[in-house]
Structure formats: C-alpha cells, structure tokens
Amino acid sequence: MVDKTSGVPAFRQVAADLRGRIVSGEYAPGDRLPSERELVEHYHVSRPTIRDAVNLLRSEGVVVAEHGKGVFVRPPNTIHRLARSRLSRAARAENKGAFLADAAAKGFTPSSSVKVRFEAADERVAEYLRIEPGAEVTVRDRVMRANGLVVQLAVSRLPRELTRGTPSEEVDTGSGGVYARLEEAGHVIGHYAEHVGARMPTPEETSALQLGQGTPVITVTRVAYRDDGTPLEMNDMVLPADRYELSYEWAAE
Amino acid sequence: MVDKTSGVPAFRQVAADLRGRIVSGEYAPGDRLPSERELVEHYHVSRPTIRDAVNLLRSEGVVVAEHGKGVFVRPPNTIHRLARSRLSRAARAENKGAFLADAAAKGFTPSSSVKVRFEAADERVAEYLRIEPGAEVTVRDRVMRANGLVVQLAVSRLPRELTRGTPSEEVDTGSGGVYARLEEAGHVIGHYAEHVGARMPTPEETSALQLGQGTPVITVTRVAYRDDGTPLEMNDMVLPADRYELSYEWAAE
DNA sequence: GCGGGTAAGTGGTCAAGACGAGTTGTCGTC
DNA sequence: GACGACAACTCGTCTTGACCACTTACCCGC
C-alpha cells in the first residue's frame, strides 16, 4: 500500500491516500475513519507514521480527532456572511448592533460580554487613529456568543478625548452603540475602511473560540472616519475562518 | 524544566516556553533556535517530544524549519495591500491590470502565465453566474509571480456566450484585459462584489505558492455584474495570508 | 589560490513498545 | 427495569534507537 522506493515519505503517502478517499466521497463528512490500529494493519506502517499522516490532515483542517471516539471527516460549517450593510444608520436606528441583527436573521440566541479599560496607544494603534503614541485610548473588549458558543472577539479603541464623560466609557453604551454616541456628540461618521487578513490563531484564541486544529482566523481591522477624515474608532475583530465569510460590494467607477 | 505533575503534556510545556521566549524577544525574528538535540538536553525529554513541540509552533506559523540548517523564528513578511481601487477604469485605461499596477508601485518584476480552457459549470459556479448547471463556461487559469516567486493564483470564469469569438478566449486578451473586452462588447460593468474567506491550503497550493507550514490562504471570490445585475464574470483568487492584506472603503450610509 | 571531497551538524523519517485517558457498550447485580 | 462496574475500544503521550537527506565549513591536494 505504500511505495518505499518513490522517495515520498510514507506518512505523506498515507495522508494523500486518505485525503483522496475523503474528496472522492468514500469517507463522507462526519464519517469516522478507520482507527489508527486498523490503518497500521492496512498500510503496513507503524503507528507513529499513521499518526503523522493523520496529524497532517488535521493541520489541513480535513479531519478532526476526538479522544476516545475516533477521527472524523470535518463536517462543513454553516457560514455566516457578514456584509458591509451591517453598519447602516438604518440598522442602528432599530437599536440593533450588527451582531444582534445577524442573530435575529439567523435565529440564534446572542449574548456578549464587554470589558472597558484605558491604555496608552502603541505604535500600530497610534497610526490607525492618527494620534501620538502613548496617548490614552478607551478600549472596549468584547466577546460575542451565539447559543453560548464564542463566535467572535472584538477589541474597539477610541481616543479618550472622544469618550470622556460619555456612555462610551460604560459597559452599556445604550441604544445604537458607540457609533450612535459619537454621532450625538457631533462626530458624524463619513466613511469606513476595513483591512482584512488571516493567520493561525494564538493558543488563547484557540481556546476562546474553541477552534479545531487546522482552523485559521480572519482578522478585520475596521476604522471609522469622521466627514473630515479624522479617525474616530478602530475595531480589531477576530473571526473563526470556518464559520465566517465577508462580503463587500461597490459600484464600478 | 518540565513539570510532569501539572497534567500539561510535556511537548506543550516546551512549546509554551519557546513561544514565550520568542514573544519576549529572547529569540528575535530570523534567529535560529537551539538545535533539537540541544533542546533534548535542556528540557530532559526525548527528541520526538521536542519535535512535537516544534511542530506545534510550526503549525502556528511562529517558526519555520529548514532542513540541514535549523529552526528559525519566522521573520515578518512584507505585506501587499490590495485595495478595491485596483479595479477602476482609469487604471484599465493605462493598460494596467491590477497586478501590473501593483508591481509598478512596489518595485518588483511581475510575470504571469495563463491557461485557457472550457468546462461545464458546477453548482457553485452556476449559482454565482446565475446560469444553468452544466452550461459551458470559459475558464482562465492564471498564476502570478513577483520576481519569479508565485504570489497569487486566480481562476476566472465567464459564460461562454460572452466570450465566443472574442480575444477573451485567447491567452493574450489585449490591452486592459477581459474587463475591457467585455465593455467593448456592450457589457458595461455596473458593480462588483467580493466574498472573502480563509482556510488552510491544499497540498497543491502549498507547493505552488511555496507556503511555509502554518500559513493559511485568503480566498477571494469576485463577481462582476452588468448594470442590470447580470453576472458577467467570477474570479476565484487564492492569496498567501502572510503576504497579503485586503482593504475596503465605503461611505457611511 | 582554487577546487573538490569529506566530516560534522542540522532537521526528516520510521520502528517498536509502553502507558495514560476518554468513551461506549455490555453484563451482572440489585 | 435501572443502575453501576467493568471491559474493550478509541486517541494522546512519551521513550529509545536508528538511519537518511541536506547544509556548511574545513581541509587537503592540486
């Protein structure tokens, strides 16, 4: 079953064979793969070699292992689509944050917890908000859950001057959220920018978002600007890549 | 150095210790870590355990291993920013595709190779292009390189009816690319949509993009629509997540 | 001085074996 | 019939030992 003369490592050959059986449908999503011992017999290689092969598939996000139960073909996840329309004033007027509106549409029970703190801007934050490094910023740390499961982390930062003495420094910002408070204070939002990337999660993110091995995270840094171009707020979001897709639309110029 | 009573697996403790030394700056980007044999002596665990720890860091994208040389702290990559303005007619008029314009700005030597083929639309393609599954589509398979290195894969699909007998079915589409040919044929592009996700690369993508272990890819599906809302083209792009960031901007509604 | 070969060091692969820990079904007891 | 203990499975961890492949630098011969 394994060609030792090909120069290709045995564990890669085993992984390739299993991957092929998965994409061909021989093992369907949710199916259990043969146990490691069965694979040892089938391919005539040692157990560590089988484990190397399975670990490769795990790091690719193709399968997930469950202790005591077996190794399963990763079932496809329901994808949440986040569109930029989630930020319209119309939505805010209905007292719905982006997350709550999504929950209502998708039919899950949302919850979230917020921590507020103040810190000095590091270089990256200072650049995005166009303030001096070291200047004080208000930080709103937010964990969003759907049906109790953590699905999104968000860290929002604003120059402290914009929030001093306003509900934006409280845990509960009131109807419409921070953006509504900003506009009440005369800071009308003119446009948004989002910068999207992806990377592997830190160990903290892995446990917080309960990510399976081989699942990257999508990072979104959104910056809200006033009419005159002054940055008002930046928001660093971390989303599990297997559960989210972002959509953007714009007219051709 | 490793606490066997804590319940935390040895290889995770080693990985956590090394990770800590990296984030603290003890090992700076580009530095070589101690060799596996040295780590064996230092932590008093077996070599496979050390390798498990290093592999964990590799899958996190924290370090990269080079055969015969050592394990190195991953140096930060230069990030290419892709903004949506890359699709303006003004840029097309200058006979620059998005990729060429980027190259000129960043100062690298671009090259790309294209393969054209025809195939039947599968379900996903049919849905995006709003055609019947099985209908013929023109497929333009493109590999983009910067200084000889592959940096981007793109698969463009158009309904065959739109391209029959036009340069869009040739390898060289002429000045301004496929979009220019579409507009000449009366299909004026009204708006674009992009759907952004991330996942771990397939083995083919890993070798084509020369990705290090622990590097996800960003997937972008761009759809170009005519004024009346008819989909004209879809473009599946795959970008190495450690080299790209996408930026979007829009006015507040 | 230059070139090539070689040795030492690096990570890559693989085996055989042992024990731990979580899960599930079964079978006996109450 | 219900419950609990146990057995038999699963994957998780770790060791010892071995050999291979790649890189680098040194050294010797020319």
Residue at which a domain ends, from A73, A104, A127: A73
Nearest residue by alpha-carbon distance to C1' of D13: B9
C-alpha dihedral over A238, A244, A245, A250, to 10 degrees? -60
Protein CA at A1 to nucleotide C1' at C30, angstroms: 52
How much is the pLDDT for B183?
Answer: 85
Residue-wise pLDDT for A190-242, tens only, equals 999 999 999 999 999 998 898 888 899 999 999 999 999 999 999 999 999 99
pLDDT of B95 reads 55
Residue B177's pLDDT is 79
- A136-146: strand order across its sheet: A110-120, A136-146, A149-159, A231-240, A217-226, A189-199, B244-251, B80-83
CATH number for the domain harbouring residue A62: 1.10.10.10
Say whether both A200 and A106 belong to one domain: yes
- The per-residue pLDDT for B164 is 86
In 3-state terms, what secondary structure has residue B128? helix
**Residue in B closest to A60 by C-alpha:** B200
Q: Phi/psi at B233 (nearest 5 deg)?
A: -150, 145
Same structural domain, A59 and A93: no
In sequence order, what E strands does B125-201 have? Answer: 136-146, 149-159, 189-199
CATH number of the domain encompassing residue A115: 3.40.1410.10
What six digits make up the tokens of B244?
Answer: 């790209």
Say whether both A62 and A104 belong to one domain: no
| d(CA A118, nearest CA chain B) in Å | 23
Closest nt to B46 (CA→C1')? D15
Residue at token pair 């702290």: B73
Domain boundary among A21, A54, A73: A73
Query: Quick one: DSSP state of residue A62?
Result: S
Distance CA A230, CA A191 (A): 10
| Residue A59 sits in the same domain as residue A130 | no
The C-alpha of A169 sits at a distance from chain B's nearest C-alpha, in angstroms, of 24
Q: How far is the CA of A80 from the C1' of D29 (A)?
A: 70
Judge whether B105 is closer than 8 Å to chain A, CB to CB.
no
Q: Which residue on chain B is closest to A91 by alpha carbon?
A: B253
Whole-number pLDDT of residue A114: 92
| A135 backbone dihedrals φ, ψ, rounded to 5° | -65, 150
Asked if the structure places residue A32 within a domain, the reply is yes
Is the confidence at residue A101, as pLDDT, over 70?
Answer: no
Mark whether A131 and A233 lie in a shared domain: yes
Query: Which two three-digit tokens encode residue A226?
Result: 């006033």
Residue A214 CB contacts under 8 Å (≥ 6 apart), including other chains: A58, A59, A60, A61, A62, B59, B200
In a domain, A4, yes or no: no
Tell me, yes or no, whether B3 lies in a domain: no
Token pair belonging to B58: 């590799």
**Residue A200 three-state SS:** coil
Spatial CB neighbours of A40, under 8 Å, sequence gap ≥ 6: A46, A47, A50
The pLDDT score that the predictor gives to residue A65 is 94
What are the pLDDT digits (tens) for A2-53?
787 788 899 999 999 999 999 999 999 999 999 999 999 999 999 999 999 9
Q: Which two tokens stand for residue A18?
A: 């299993």
Mark yes or no for CB contact A245/B195 under 8 Å: yes
B133 beta carbon to strand D: under 7 Å: no
State whether B69 and B94 are in the same domain: no
Whether A5 is in a domain gets the answer: no
Q: Which amino acid is at B81?
A: R
Contact list in A for residue B187 (CB cut-off 8 A) is: none
CB contact under 8 A, B245 and A193: no
**Quick one: tokens of B203?**
């083995």
B71 CA: nearest nucleotide by C1': C11
Per-residue pLDDT of chain B (253 residues; tens, 9 = 90+): 678 788 889 999 999 999 999 999 999 999 999 999 999 999 999 999 999 999 999 999 999 999 999 999 999 887 788 877 666 677 666 555 667 666 666 777 778 889 999 999 999 999 999 999 999 999 999 998 887 778 899 999 999 999 888 777 878 877 777 888 888 888 999 999 999 999 999 999 998 898 888 899 999 999 999 999 999 999 999 999 999 999 999 888 7
Protein-strand C interface by C-beta, 7 A: A 9-12, 44-49, 52, 66-69; B 33, 35-38, 47-48, 51, 54, 65-71
Q: In chain B, at which residue ranges do the beta strands (DSSP E only) sit?
A: 63-66, 70-73, 80-83, 110-120, 136-146, 149-159, 189-199, 217-226, 231-240, 244-251
Burial profile A8-31: b = 16 or more Cβ within 10 angstroms, e = fewer: eebbebbbebbbeebeeeebeeeb
Distance between CA atoms of residues A34 and A134, nearest Å = 56
- Nucleotides of chain D in contact with protein CB (under 7 A) are 9-18, 21-24
Domain around B123: 80-247
Whether B192 contacts chain A with CB within 8 A: yes
Please state the domain count of chain A: 2
Same domain, B105 and B53: no
Can you tell me the distance from the alpha carbon of A191 to that of A179, in angstroms, rounded to the nearest whole number?
Answer: 12
- Residue B153 included in any domain: yes
Distance B51 CA to D17 C1' (A): 16
Mean pLDDT of the region A46-63: 94
* Non-local CB neighbours of A155 within 8 Å, separated by 6+ positions: A139, A140, A141, A142, A235, A236, A237
**Residues in chain B within 8 Å Cβ distance of A123:** none
Q: Are residues B29 and B94 in the same domain?
A: no
How far does A117 lie from chain B, in Å, by closest CA?
Answer: 23
The confidence band for A167, taking pLDDT boundaries of 50, 70 and 90, is confident
DSSP B208-238: HTTPPTT--EEEEEEEEEETTS-EEEEEEEE
Whether B1 maps to a domain, the answer reads: no
| Residue B25 included in any domain | yes
| B50 C-beta neighbours (distance < 10 Å), count | 25
Strands A149-159 and A231-240: antiparallel
- One domain, residues B182 and B86: yes
Residues 57-86 of A with CB under 7 A from strand D: 65-71
Any CB–CB contact under 8 A between A20 and chain B? no
Among A28-32, A58-62, A165-169, B150-154, which stretch is predicted with the lowest mean pLDDT?
A165-169
pLDDT digits (tens, 9 = 90+) for A4-18: 778 889 999 999 999
| Residue A146 maps to a domain | yes
Whether B99 and B32 share a structural domain: no
Q: Which H or E run includes B40?
A: helix B36-43
Q: At what angle do helices A47-59 and A36-43 cross, to 10 degrees?
A: 110
Mean pLDDT of the residues in chain A:
88
Contact flag B251-A191 (C-beta cutoff 8 Å): yes
Judgement on whether residues A17 and A125 belong to the same structural domain of the protein: no
Q: Are residues B42 and B84 in the same domain?
A: no
Out of A38, A73, A108, a domain closes at A73
